[in-house]
Structure 1
Amino acid sequence: MHDNQPRTITPDGLPEVITRYLTAHRAHDAGTAVTTFTGDATVIDDGHTYQGSLAIERWLDQSANEFTYSIELTDAQEIDAAHYIATHHLEGDFPGGTIDLRYRFTLRDDLIEHLSIEP
């Protein structure tokens, strides 16, 4: 097995900071969600890059209000102590109506340094 091969884990095996982010994100609580990121964090979502706390908080507010959807964590993987993937199934009033998205997290100092969201 290669060192960087993802290993499936239970959702409660995800680091606390990722769980806290996902819980706040599902609750549309941008104020709490933004506290899980480093000050210089980067988020890549839907082809756009958001750098730093202010930009990430605006992105969180916008994504919470743009569409109505349900989100379910369907898979969790650990690549190494700093890299995790959480796969979510979304259903809602966005174009297409359903999608599975992989949230790829990079952690630094127990905070999220990088989040990339992609199908």
Structure 2
Amino acid sequence: MSVTLPPPIAAYFAADSAGAGVADCFAPTGAVKDEGRTHVGRAAIARWKAEASSQYDYVSEPVAVEENGEQVLVTSRVTGNFPGSPVDLRYRFVVAADGIVRLEIGA
């Protein structure tokens, strides 16, 4: 299934697949909340992504998108070598002119 994503979010999933450049998709003071921890700023986001990528190999395929005001909710099927794979995760994005301002990842 193919979905159309807003450009900054499409760039995020493309960078995630490539394994590099995820932090560049965010505004300078952007934030990611994942697994109960919040990472603020591009340097912290780059560290978060590097740590997550070193633990598991995975593929994330967006399967649904819903826009609600300033929030964009993307459901993605994540498959890899982690416990519970595959899983559908919800990515809640808030986007501004200078990139992704906030991303929350959860089930």
Q: TM-score, normalised by structure 1?
A: 0.82
Bigger CA radius of gyration: 1
- Aligned pairs for 1:73-112 (under 5 A) are 73-80=62-69, 82-112=70-100
In the alignment, is the contact (CA less than 8 A) between 1:102 and 1:118 conserved in 2? yes
Tell me by how many angstroms 1:110 deviates: 4.5
Unaligned runs of 5+ in 2: none
Match of 1:27 among 15, 18, 35: 18
Secondary structure, aligned partner of 2:13: helix
Give, in whole Å, the separation in 2 of the partners of 1:21 and 1:96. 23
Task: Calculate the aligned-residue CA RMSD, in Å.
Answer: 1.4
Which ranges of 4 or more aligned residues in structure 1 deviate by more than 4 Å?
Answer: none
Count of matched residue positions in the alignment of Structure 1 and Structure 2: 106
Q: Give the structure 2 partner of residue 118 of structure 1.
A: 106
Give, in whole Å, the separation in 1 of the partners of 2:22 and 2:78. 19
Q: Give the structure 2 partner of residue 56 of structure 1.
A: 45
Tell me by how many angstroms 1:66 deviates: 1.2
Tell me by how many angstroms 1:60 deviates: 1.2
Give, in whole Å, the separation in 1 of the partners of 2:34 and 2:101. 14
- Percent identical pairs in the alignment equals 32
Tell me by how many angstroms 1:42 deviates: 1.0
Unaligned runs of 5+ in 1: 1-9
Per-residue displacement from partner, 1:78-105 (whole Å, max 9, x unpaired)? 112x310111111221111221100000
